[in-house]
Amino acid sequence: MLKLLNLLKDGRFHSGEALGAALGVSRSAVWKQLQHLESELNLTIHKVRGRGYQLAAPLNLLESHAITAFSQGEQWPVFIHESIDSTNAEGLRLAAQGQAAPFLVLAERQTAGRGRRGRQWVSPFAENLYYSLVLRVEGGMRQLEGLSLVVGLAVMRTLQVFGLKEVGLKWPNDVLVRGRKITGILLELVGDPADVCHVVLGVGINVNMQSTEQIDQQWTSMRSEVGLVVDRNQLVALLNQQLQHELARHRRYGFAAFQEEWEQAHLWQGRKVSLVAGNTRIDGVARGVDGQGGLRLDVDGVEKSFSGGELSLRLRDDS
């Protein structure tokens, strides 16, 4: 299907005869592939007698050579999939098979994309960024402290390069624009976190998506914010560059070097919040983060730190 998509991605009309000749198949085979694109990938294709076939909107497909053309600095090996269950899951599989880290897994679509706490990550075809960077981590837990918060800073700065305004962070793993979610971050690891392990930095960014009924919270996308279609290959290259810089700093200095700048970007700093874990709720005032990336809360005049992947932070109604 990717061969056909590459022929159609310019958004222009292409005759069935020309498509068949380029693919080396019959016009009826082209028709079947077009039906498959519509049903499986939810793409809209205009069919006009005498003119041929046209995608309703041009497609910007992920391509390793295009990412390289936009890139500066170290080039990570990249694995690009048309469709996959989850880029994080594939990253873990490749690491288990002996693929040398660091490496990057990207996909045009996820069929089982995951967010935090088991939530689904909505993953329409060729609209957003589904990005998993796999790292080999040595030296114990210090190399993992605050890592998801460092990734959030890198994503925030990347979005700002593209001209997005009012971008900020929500502890622990979200990036918001004008209070609406644009990015989620999910870290997963395998191995011994006290010795040597592999960690997958999963990043989902709403890039060119303009509508969906599958998200149950306020959201936005890069295209909605800047009014332009964003080249996802350029986005990958710039995010790689930001992560290379921030991860090197984190390895050298630890999360303590990021603590102040992360707090400056935290949108709920000083706000009344509720920290929820299952049926347990703790009310307090967000005071920032500690040197390990845990949330600092003022609870009835006493400052306490909290950390853990199952925690959810919410604004209180009276905030």
Q: Per the annotation, does 110 bind a ligand? A: yes
Q: Per the annotation, does 99 bind a ligand? A: no
User: Prior bond to 58 cis, omega within 30?
Assistant: no
As beta bridge partners, residue 120 has: 114
Q: Per the annotation, does 181 bind a ligand? A: yes
Given 109, 116, 157, 170, which residue is catalytic?
Answer: 116
Given 9, 181, 287, 304, which residue is catalytic?
Answer: 181
Q: Per the annotation, does 87 bind a ligand? A: yes
Q: Per the annotation, does 114 bind a ligand? A: yes
With contact defined as beta carbons under 8 Å apart, do 247 and 203 qualify?
no
Q: Per the annotation, does 9 bind a ligand? A: no
Active site residue 49: no
Q: Per the annotation, does 160 bind a ligand? A: no
Given 47, 93, 117, 314, which residue is catalytic?
Answer: 314
Q: CA quadruple 246, 116, 139, 291: dihedral positive or negative? A: positive
Q: Per the annotation, does 116 bind a ligand? A: yes
Give the whole-angstrom CA distance, residue 173 versus residue 187. Answer: 9
The conformational region for residue 105 under phi > 0 = left, psi -120 to 50 = alpha, else beta, is beta
Q: How far is CA 202 from CA 49, 251, 286, in A?
A: 44, 19, 26
Active site residue 180: no
Could you tell me which of 250, 291, 262 has the C-alpha nearest to residue 137?
250
Active site residue 314: yes
For the annotated catalytic residues, the residue numbers are 116, 181, 314
Binding site for biotin: what residues are annotated? 86-88, 110, 114-116, 181
Known binding-site positions: 86-88, 110, 114-116, 181
